[in-house]
Structure formats: structure tokens, C-alpha cells
Amino acid sequence: MKRVEEESKTKGGIIIPDTAKEKPQEGEVIAAGSGTIKDDGTVRPLDVKAGDRILFGKWSGTEVTVDGQELLIMKESDILGIVG
């Protein structure tokens, strides 16, 4: 999952410097696993798929860098909602 960058300017035209910005809590799923293995051994498919835009908690996931790109790895249970 990669974070979706927020606007660097407010609606009123005020420019927000990078040092004042919080990391976005919205992202785009770039890859998802095949599902969760239940106690009986069957697989429950995930509700998210590549391309979904999601909302997640401020402290969710683990940050990793792959080929110079900052990504987050997280469990489906850390996702608060799918926005599109």
C-alpha cells in the first residue's frame, strides 16, 4: 500500500510547508494477499484489492522502502474503510 499525498495548499490558498504536514492516513492498495486462513483451514478472501483507496489509523502498518518507494505493509484489520 502506498500513501496518497495530500494537498500542499489549503482551500484559502495558504501553502503548508512539508515540516508542518502530517503523514496522510489515506492510501492506495498496490498488492493484496490471497486471504486469511480460518481455523478450519479454509481461506477467507480479503475485502480489499489492488487499486482500492483506503483509510487507515495513524499508527497502522509497518513502513518499508522497496526500490526507493516508501510503502506500508498492514493487516486488513488495520483498514478503517474503503473509499473507492
CATH of the domain at 76: 2.30.33.40
SS3 state at 32: coil
Express as a percent the part of the chain with pLDDT over 70.
Answer: 70
Residue 8 lies in a domain: no
In a domain, 22, yes or no: yes
pLDDT over 70 (residue 62): yes
pLDDT averaged over every residue in the chain: 82
Look at residue 21 and tell me if it is in a domain.
yes
Is residue 30 predicted with pLDDT exceeding 90?
yes
| Residue 51 is assigned to a structural domain of this protein | yes
Q: How confident is residue 24, by pLDDT bands cut at 50, 70 and 90?
A: low
Q: Which three cell numbers stand for residue 2?
A: 502506498
Q: If you ran DSSP here, which 8-state letter would residue 70 be given?
A: E
Position 15 pLDDT exceeds 90: no
- Total domains present in the chain: 1
Q: Domain span at residue 31?
A: 16-82
Gyration radius of the chain's alpha carbons: 15
Residue 61 lies in a domain: yes
User: Residue 58: its pLDDT value, please?
Assistant: 83
Q: Is residue 60 part of a domain?
A: yes
Confidence bin at 7 (pLDDT 50/70/90): low
